[in-house]
Amino acid sequence: MKTFCGRANPTTGAMEWLEEDENYDYHQEIARSRYADMLHDKDRNVKYYQGIRAAVSRVKERGEKAIVLDIGTGTGLLSMMAASAGADFCYAIEVFKPMANAAVKIVEKNGFRDKIKVINKHSTEVTVGPDGDMQCRANILVTELFDTELIGEGALPTYEHAHKYLVQEGCEAVPHRATVYVQLVESKRMWSWNKLFPVHVEAEDGEKIIVSPSEMENCPGVPSVCDIQLNQMPSRDFTILSDVVTMFSVDFSKPVRSASTYYRVQLEPVKSGKAQIVLSWWDIDMDPSGMINCTMAPYWVKSTSAFQWRDHWMQCVYFLPNEEPVLQGEKVYLTACRDEYSVWYTLQKASPENKAAISVESPVCRCQAHLLWNRPRFGQLNDQNRTSQYIKSLMKVLKTDSVCLCISDGSLLPVLAHYLGAKQVFTLENSSVSRSVMEKFFKANHLEDKIKIIEARPELLTSSHLEDKKISVLVGEPFFTTSLLPWHNLYFWYARTAVTSHLASNVTVLPQSASLHMMIVEFQDLWRIRSPCGTCEGFDVQTMDDMIKNSLNFRESKEAEPHPLWEYPCKSLSDPQEVLTFDFRKTVPQHSLSTEGSVNLLRKGKSHGAVLWMEYHLAADISVSTGLLQISNEKGNCEWNPHCKQAVYFFSSVIESETLSDIPSAVTYAINFNTKTGDIAMDFKLL
């Protein structure tokens, strides 16, 4: 059997569907899964174990047999906890086949073969009865089906079905309940991820302001949750407008309803300001009394349990449809609407009298900009410092007779080029969505007849598209929506190569070149997502470790993976090093570009991996970095570009969990850029 997998192709700027053998998809699934992170989540595991022990004893005290249903068992961990806590029998359900196979092995290895039955089905397909998957209904329901939003992985419909068909009435549930909390804040930084702010341009003929179309101003955006490590958001970046309040809770021991509904709370602002953002998180009580509690509360909310780093459950940022001014002490009403899988929020000044006025319709982006630009991209476009670097560079290269072609997805560069005096501006848009967004944009700024949009692939560009003119200035940020890793934006180089015949002989290319940079780091926590666990709460889960390791090595060369490092603190162990350069003034060479070298480790620490990023050299002495902004102190703490994901290559010592006998003093590297595929292969050795 073959499976098709989407991969960004940096040479074409497109997502391509490649045929892979059937194992590839599942190896990706396992390699990039959060299983390791969950097994390292000590707080979660300890609390689940306490809750399971307590539930088993409550059932035993009633003189009943303890029959456990564990939905989404994964490694089988929670079922093994139940069996060792004295449960008579456990039904462990896992829909993902490779995972179910691993659970069978893990259960056997830990000696629970006769106590735990692994069922490889979706829980809604499980049958009960003498000939069924389960002999009888269970009286203890154990699950871990939660994501950062609580309900995004389908916990509600799963519970609803289980209560109807798989568990007894009045069963015990671990967790017993979940509670969702909210807090209203004002934050220019977070709001900049959802709306485009006016851009100020100082031109020869006075100040120009680029505004966004009113349709975009009033668009509620996309309903998908914005989940981040809120603990990395400094308190200076938001203003708290309300106390933390409980929005809703779900009791898992009783029948659960998944149908769309809404909840409303009254808030009294503790400060006046602009309500823009609802921050939200949840906690779970493992027992009815609420003594065993596992919380996702961020650092500024006093919590009883010690802080636990985790990446599988974070915190949510919700954008209100519009910013609402609120006054201290003047009550407002916050409404949470939800369907089976997601939640969204609206704020009202007065309590709506009639219940019918509440729309439980999920918000839809009608302006298309939220479909074209993800949240970090909005942040990037709103970064006035970044924009001013492009303005400075354009002012250096543009002349009154410049004919300018812009190649980037949904960029403001064409508008900047026009305002800064280019005679004519063309922009190449890769998709109908980016074309449509840019049309609205130009129209809102009365530029529809000043900038010509060409919706064509670079290699299909003709002289008639360009009205028979030669391009004297070729510009790009570069930014392309299909890019996952930093070097995928090198598509600009391939596009530049494809349009060579339309360029004037003395063409100026901006950026004139790019470079790949690298630095060795020690992560505070991110290493856990790739680190083997060995034993978890006394259970041997090495089968899972081996499975992840096997999947990470499935492609002989391990790959770098994208992570937004502003959310994942690390310290530099080496100086940053430039390893490859790409000259956009020339066409892409036929041969591959490669480099070898070594980098000295200057600080003590665990070498978890290498971080790689791109820098673009716009003009003579102006560069923009997509990675390291600065090393902020002698400890080596790093500040990263918050609008981009950096590439992280984890060393095998993390994946193999080796303890190195000698502290390495240097790291050697070999890096190869294959110009045919646009991919970068790399290898590192600790010396």
- Name which of 179, 135, 145 is nearest 38 in CA terms: 145
What Rg, from alpha-carbon coordinates, does the chain have? Answer: 28
Q: How would you class 75 by CB atoms within 10 Å of its CB: exposed for 0-12, middle for 13-18, buried for 19 or more?
A: buried
User: Cα angle at 57 between 56 and 58, to 5 degrees?
Assistant: 95
332: how many CB neighbours lie within 10 A of its CB? Answer: 21
Q: Is position 455 annotated as part of the catalytic site?
A: no
d(CA 418, CA 420): 5
Give the CA count within 13 Å in the CB-facing half-sphere of 170: 4
Return the amino acid letter for 618: L
Strand residue runs (E) in 527-608: 535-536, 539-540, 561-563, 570-572, 577-583, 593-600
Six-digit token pair at 420?
């800064």
**H helical segments located in 231-337:** none
d(CA 667, CA 601): 7
| DSSP-derived secondary structure for 443-493 | HHTT-TTTEEEE-S-GGG--TTTTTTPPEEEEE-----TT--SGGGGGHHH
508: how many CB neighbours lie within 10 A of its CB? Answer: 20
Q: Is position 556 annotated as part of the catalytic site?
A: no
* Residue tagged active-site, from 16, 20, 149, 153: 153
Q: Are the CB atoms for 415 and 441 separated by under 8 Å?
A: yes
Give the CA count within 13 Å in the CB-facing half-sphere of 152: 17
Cα distances (Å, whole numbers) of residue 398 to 173, 206, 422, 425, 501: 68, 17, 6, 11, 21
Phi, psi of 488, rounded to the nearest 5 degrees: -65, -25
Q: How would you class 305 by CB atoms within 10 Å of its CB: exposed for 0-12, middle for 13-18, buried for 19 or more?
A: middle
d(CA 179, CA 174): 14
* Residue tagged active-site, from 144, 149, 172, 186: 144
Q: Are the CB atoms for 582 and 592 separated by under 8 Å?
A: no
Q: Are the CB atoms for 666 and 598 separated by under 8 Å?
A: yes
Give residue for tokens 């996702």. Answer: 296
DSSP state of 546: H
Per the DSSP assignment, residues forming a β-bridge with 451 are 425
d(CA 384, CA 82): 55
Catalytic annotation, residues: 144, 153
